[in-house]
Structure 1
């Protein structure tokens, strides 16, 4: 089992534990903040299960039906997870407004505080682990899971703070106010996640830094006189690069091919943890000048 798959399994297990303890105490105490946190953990279980499915499929090699692989499933999962996070934020906001309107009291504040502190410790450990996996693998699904649980960590901390204020002041409206603040933060956090997933689904180019490195590799390669039509995109664990290299017409096909192989090898070294699909077209002249739909990427001539 890959490291990213293990991450989703562990995340599901931790979410399951948190659901049981939060839901039990939330129902007994009547705290909207604790119940909202429990509801969020229920969603976490389903999201982590979906993430496992997404990672499992994105790791499959290209097939006859899907020639470029299924890497975009990760981006789709990120969009879905971001949408679910947004929905959970709206639900929390709804519950918080109800709490403020009815000024409902909270019971068993002591057990509620203990449960939320335990929840913070477990969630913090999980976030550290997921961020390690995301950094090591570059997996967007694990990255989105790490963000999800990071928002949980902050929201859980806010719940503890609200419970402490209620405990000492008996001002129950605070529970609802903190619930609204948590909801707004969750919705805001989901925006970047959805945005990143959508950009990948729309074939956004690789990061500027990587594109510049690709250009520098091409420019510094002997006997490559020019280049054009440089295009890049990413999908899950895959980075795609397409480019036309221009050679002197007198060069042999074998030599041009060997140079192109060397360019491809150097491009793949930019990020060895990714799977690179590099397609290089060999040109004896610059055929971009008469191309009606020439791609402009800043300086590709």
Structure 2
């Protein structure tokens, strides 16, 4: 099993445990903040299970129906995760406002505090593990999952602080006000997840620094006359590069092919944590201006 899939199994198991604990305490205590955290953990469980399905689907080999594989399941999963986070935040915000209107004091403060301490510690270990996997694999789904649980870590810490504050001051309005703050923060954290996933689904080019690395490799080749029409995109754990390489008109097809193979290997080395698909069009002369005219530029 791939490390990424193992990470989703771990996150799903942790989320299931937290849902069971938080939901029980949230219902009995009447705390909007704890209940909001429980709902968030329930959505974490749903998202982690979907992420496992997405990764499992994305790693399938290409076939007659999907010639380029199913890698875009990964950014699709990230977009769905961001949308789910946003909707859950809106629900939490609504519940917080409802509690302010229909005021009711909290109960079982000691149990609520104990649960949030346990939740904070468990989530902290999970975030550390997911960050480790994200750095090692550079997988978009795991990065989104790590960011999601990182927001949970912050919210759990804030809720814990608020519960302690309520137990000392007796001011129960702190709970719904805090719930509103958590909801706003959740929406804020979901925006970059949705944005990155949409850009990948729309085949946006690689970041400028990655394109510069590719161009540096191409410019370092002494046995080519130049290059043009460099295009890049990313799809899940795969990177696609397309480029026209200009060779000397007298070079043999065999030698041009050998040079192209070496270029492909060097480009793969730039992104060792991902699979790089490089398509090299071998030109006997620079036809970039002709292509530009034909394309209407």
User: Which band: TM-score by shorter chain?
Assistant: over 0.9
Q: TM-score with structure 2 length normalisation?
A: 0.97
5+ long unaligned stretches in structure 2? none
Q: CA deviation at 1:255?
A: 1.3
Q: Tell whether the 8 Å contact from 1:229 to 1:294 is kept in structure 2 after alignment.
A: no
For these two proteins, the number of residue pairs brought into alignment is 296
Of the structure 1 ranges 174-183 and 59-68, higher mean CA displacement relative to structure 2 is found in: 59-68
1:65 aligns with 2:36: no
- Paired residue secondary structure (2:227): strand
Change (3 A) 1:165 1:221: same
Displacement, 1:293?
A: 6.2
Partner residue, 1:22: 22
Q: How does 1:144-223 map to 2 (within 5 A)?
A: 144-223=144-223
1:44 CA drift (Å): 1.1
Larger mean CA deviation between 116-125 and 252-261 belongs to 252-261
Alignment partner, residue 88 of structure 2: 88
**TM-superposed deviation, 1:223:** 2.1
Cα RMSD of the aligned pairs, angstroms, is: 1.3
Who is 1:299 aligned against? none
C-alpha deviations, 1:3-55, integer Å up to 9, x for none?
A: 11111111111011101110111111100000111111111111111000000
Structure 1 contact 288–294 (Cα < 8 Å) conserved: no
Per the TM alignment, residue 248 of structure 1 is displaced from its structure 2 partner at its CA by 1.4
Q: How much does 1:207 deviate?
A: 2.1
**Inter-partner Cα distance in structure 2 for 1:18 and 1:283:** 59
Cα deviations by residue, 1:150-197 (Å, 9 ceiling, x for unpaired): 111111111111111211111111101100100000000000000000
1:121-160 to structure 2, matched below 5 A, reads 121-160=121-160
1:116 offset after TM fit, Å?
Answer: 0.4
- In 2: Cα distance, 1:43 partner to 1:2 partner: 24
Q: Give the equivalent residue in structure 1 for 2:259.
A: 259
Quote the Cα distance in structure 1 between the aligned partners of 2:278 and 2:201.
19
In 1, Cα distance between equivalents of 2:209 and 2:45: 36
Q: Distance in 1 between matches of 2:167 and 2:193?
A: 35
Q: Is the 8 A contact 1:229 1:295 kept in 2?
A: no
Partner of residue 286, structure 1 = 286
Q: CA deviation at 1:295?
A: 10
Q: In structure 1, what is the Cα distance between the partners aligned to 2:143 and 2:50?
A: 14
Determine the structure 2 residue equivalent to 1:118.
Answer: 118
